Amino acid sequence: MSSAARPLSLLTSSTPRDLGYGAVEYLKRVLTDDEPGGMITIQGGHMTPLPFGSFSDPETGRVRIRLVDVESSSYRVAREYMIRLDREDLEDPAKLRPIAAAAGLTPRAFRDRYGHLAEG
């Protein structure tokens, strides 16, 4: 089993507060040290600023995707609390109708568009 995966699109309850604090501390330093600015990240449990431009592929200009450690506690917690689309959601009309309605789609259109993402 691989020990790396794409980042989860979930913030834990303390993450926004932590990132906000890190951003303010970074801005205090940037304003006095003439740094170009950056994005605050959490790496190995520590807030780490990435200077703008350092996370882009110089050839394409696109942001490089960083993998996360799927063996870490923070990954397991995020994965546990993540809302995921399951096969059962697509197969049960009573479950599919409200999900499709929330997306502004018919159940069939929702299944056609997002069915490949369902787990299980």
Please report, rounded to a whole number, the percentage of residues in the chain having pLDDT higher than 70. 84
76: pLDDT strictly greater than 80: yes
| pLDDT for the residue 10 | 47
- Beta strands 46-51; 38-43: pairing state: antiparallel
46 residue type, one letter: H
What is the predicted pLDDT for the residue at 94? Answer: 96
* pLDDT for the residue 14: 61
Is 90 exceeded by the pLDDT of residue 17? no
Please check the confidence at residue 9 and state whether its pLDDT lies above 90. no
